[in-house]
Amino acid sequence: MKKSKYRWIYIVAFIIVSLITVFLIFSAERLHNFEALDPAGTDAKWLINQPIAHRGYHNEMTAPENSLEAFQAAIRKGYAIELDVLLTKDGHVVVIHDNNLKRLAGTDSDIDKMTLEQIKTLTLLETSSTIPTLAETLQLINGKVPILLEIKSTGLSHDLDELTYSLIKDYDGSIAVQSFNPSSIRWFAKNAPDITRGMLLRGNLGFDLGNKFVDNLYMLYSNPNFIAYKYENLVKTDFSELRKNGLIVLGWTVGENMLNTREFVGHCDNIILEAE
């Protein structure tokens, strides 16, 4: 009985030591878990040099977030456009950030439980703007400015990834995808490596070792070409070595005025901005 008892103690101790060792390895420094873009390539150039308007260049009065009007405004400014996509009940890819429509359309309904026909009856923020499909959005932008497309997927389902790719694979313009879901970015790395892909990271843990651990694991699993990091936490950490090795780092989300101050350059290559 004693031998059996001690055996379990040894096993538990071994597991604990192993977990601590893995944590220390993955949190000691930021690891080279990415596939660098060709710095002379089109996608690398716009990701670094062209300001990116978060959900379009929007305002609540005439151009709600993720509306065709907000995208037209971004095009007039010459900004690249960040937008979000979700999947409807009947399998259409629509451009909107929130799955629940209470904030944006005043109805306590979920995108994934509604058909496109139902969604098209709604307007955004008491304007005349409706929720666009991704196909309508691509037709409007039509290569005028680059697109940074956030895939709002959860879990291991790849329905949204596959349908999004089917719509963008032949798009005649610059486009990249990003997601908080490493499974989505991994899917693009394996099945659509021609599409530039990025991992969205928050860095919300209270200590840098923990953030490095999570970031390293996510990047190891997803193999991104770039990352987009929550700016208020980005300034507390250091990606300088990885940037030297070709990792493109975007900071989200900051005010448009930072284009004038340029204070972000020590922390990231470009910013995803809000209209001011």
For residue range 91-132, list pLDDT tens digits in order.
999 999 999 999 999 999 999 999 999 999 999 999 999 999
Q: Is residue 238 part of a domain?
A: yes
Q: Which amino acid is at 17?
A: V
Q: What mean pLDDT is reported for the chain?
A: 93
Q: Is residue 110 part of a domain?
A: yes
Q: Is residue 168 part of a domain?
A: yes
Residue 28's pLDDT is: 55
Quickly state the pLDDT bin for 234 (edges 50, 70, 90). Answer: very high
Q: Is residue 249 part of a domain?
A: yes
Q: Is residue 97 part of a domain?
A: yes
Residue 211's pLDDT is: 93
- With beta carbons less than 8 A apart as the criterion, state whether 36 and 247 touch: yes
Distance CA 73, CA 65 (A): 11
Q: Is residue 202 part of a domain?
A: yes
Could you tell me whether strands 270-274 and 80-87 are parallel, antiparallel, or unpaired per DSSP bridges?
A: unpaired
The CATH number for 95's domain is 3.20.20.190
Q: DSSP letters along 39-90, please?
A: TTSHHHHHHHHS-EEETSS-BTTTB-TTSHHHHHHHHHHT-EEEEEEEE-TT
- With beta carbons less than 8 A apart as the criterion, state whether 134 and 95 touch: yes
Residue 139's pLDDT is: 98
Residue 207's pLDDT is: 86
Quickly state the pLDDT bin for 201 (edges 50, 70, 90). Answer: very high
Q: Is residue 2 part of a domain?
A: no
pLDDT digits over 11-35, tens only? Answer: 666 676 666 656 666 555 788 899 9
> In percent, how much of the chain has pLDDT > 90?
85
- Domain encompassing residue 45: 40-274
Number of domains observed in the structure of the chain: 1
Average pLDDT over residues 208-215: 91
Average pLDDT over residues 219-239: 97
Q: Is residue 232 part of a domain?
A: yes
Structure-model confidence comparison of residues 1 and 218, the more confident one: 218
